[in-house]
Amino acid sequence: MPLMKPALCFALALGVALPLSAAIIGTNSAALPLTANRVAALPKNLQSAWREYLARSEQQLRADQNFFRTEMKKHSVKESLPPPPGSSQSRLPLNQPKAWYGQAEALRIADIVVSFQTPAGGWSKNLDMTQHARAPGEQFAGGNASIHLARFDNDAPRESSWSYVGTFDNSATTTQLRYLAKVVVAIGPDRSDSYRAAFLRGIDYILAAQFPNGGWPQVWPLQGGYHDAITYNDDAMIKVLQLLNEVAAGHDEFSFVPESTREQAAAGIRRGIECILETQISVDGHHTVWCQQHDALTLQPTSARNYEMPSQSGAESAGIMTLLMGLPNPNPKTIAAVHASAVWLEKTKLHDVAFKPVGDEGRQLVPSPGSGPLWARYYEIGTDRPIFGDRDKTIHDNLNEISKERRQGYSWFNNAPQKALERYDRWKEAHPRR
């Protein structure tokens, strides 16, 4: 189980001293990608599985890119075309009556969804999949690069023309699979061959992307940088496990899934839960919660974007805790993990404060008697104090000291853990501490 050092060691790892309170308490280092050199440093008994995983990822990346180049040449497309931008995850209708998914409009959208499935079997993010089917030479992914990129930016893509081509970020891939499943069930086996095939390819994609230790990256085939980390951020891995759990059960819209696929999904869930338990952060021998992302090989908390540092994360940990509480027969290790995370969330909640606009200064954390509880997005490992990052990679212990742009454009505080704790109050009656 990973053992995190106190706050002073955390700061020293970043190359800075740690005062009790300061404008800048550290600098956020870039996450390490998953590479052959790093795999070669693992114990010999672990290397084979990781080498095979890397080779499979690289082979799939080449196959995806060759497909696109061949398609452009075949159709005499000189320049690739951008896809329609938008939030495909929010636009895909998942809450319509069951009969709607068998109607013409639902099938039109399903055809578009299938057309944007990557050769690997996944989907990108930030696309509007209600407009038109993908044309030859139309990109699988839109412009996902940050508009704030600077030199040595953690968010700089390895290839500007090939980024997030297959991802679990922003609910991508899991949303498209849920939509296709509803269509398959609505129209029946005689008319659903193409949709059923696309769905099963998508499940194969999810299983292929799973790390040997049970985690999932943000992007697959691997893209490098922080995208190669085990990604809990925005519930990416949690949504994958929730989908696999429903697929494995084979109920309702997943009743068409073959038994062999359901068994593979169940195996993926077991390995995913093991990864979650292994990545729970420990401080002074006591389990706490999780970071937004953990290094794929060391399982240690790691950074993502410039302002997303190794830390304990309130919202993502609440999502993980909720997933664990939903397991039908949790083992003692899982029960202990839930109790420990609940203790930490109770300890770190904030009362009588609000995160809101203040004049022309943008959003700030201000006194607000009776408000709350709130949790910070990030807490320093070892001290549990809220910390905040900026685009220049500086880490602060005072929200009001970071740039107005970052204060305005990021969810530094939220109340997501409250629902998890309310569920915990019921869950703990059936699963007392041991």
How many other CB atoms are there within 10 angstroms of residue 351's CB atom?
11
Given 134, 196, 305, 391, the catalytic residue? 305
Q: E-assigned strands of 73-232?
A: 230-231
Burial (Cβ within 10 Å: 0-12, 13-18, ≥19) of residue 257: buried
* Spatial separation of the C-alpha atoms in residues 323 and 4, rounded to whole Å: 23
User: Is 170 noted as a catalytic residue in this protein?
Assistant: yes
Q: Does residue 426 have an active-site annotation?
A: no
- From 28, 126, 170, 233, the catalytic residue: 170
Q: Check residue 397 and report its DSSP letter.
A: S
Residues 297 and 53: beta-carbon distance below 8 Å? no
Q: How far apart are the first and last CA of the chain?
A: 19
3-state helix, strand, coil in the chain (%, to 5): 45, 10, 45
387 token code pair: 């910390």
Name the phi and psi angles at 92, rounded to 5.
Answer: -70, 120
Contact yes or no for 381/282 (Cβ under 8 A): no
Q: Are 350 and 374 in contact (CB under 8 A)?
A: yes
Token match 């991802």: residue? 167
Question: Is the N-terminal amide bond of 221 cis, ω within 30° of 0?
Answer: yes
Reported residue count of the chain is 434
CB 348 within 8 A of CB 315: no
Rounded to an integer, what distance in angstroms lies between the CA atom of residue 163 and that of residue 176? Answer: 19
For 415: left if phi > 0, alpha if psi spans -120 to 50, otherwise beta; the answer is alpha
Sorted by sequence, the CB contacts under 8 Å of residue 337 that are 6+ apart come out as 276, 277, 280, 287, 324
**Residues known to be catalytic:** 170, 305
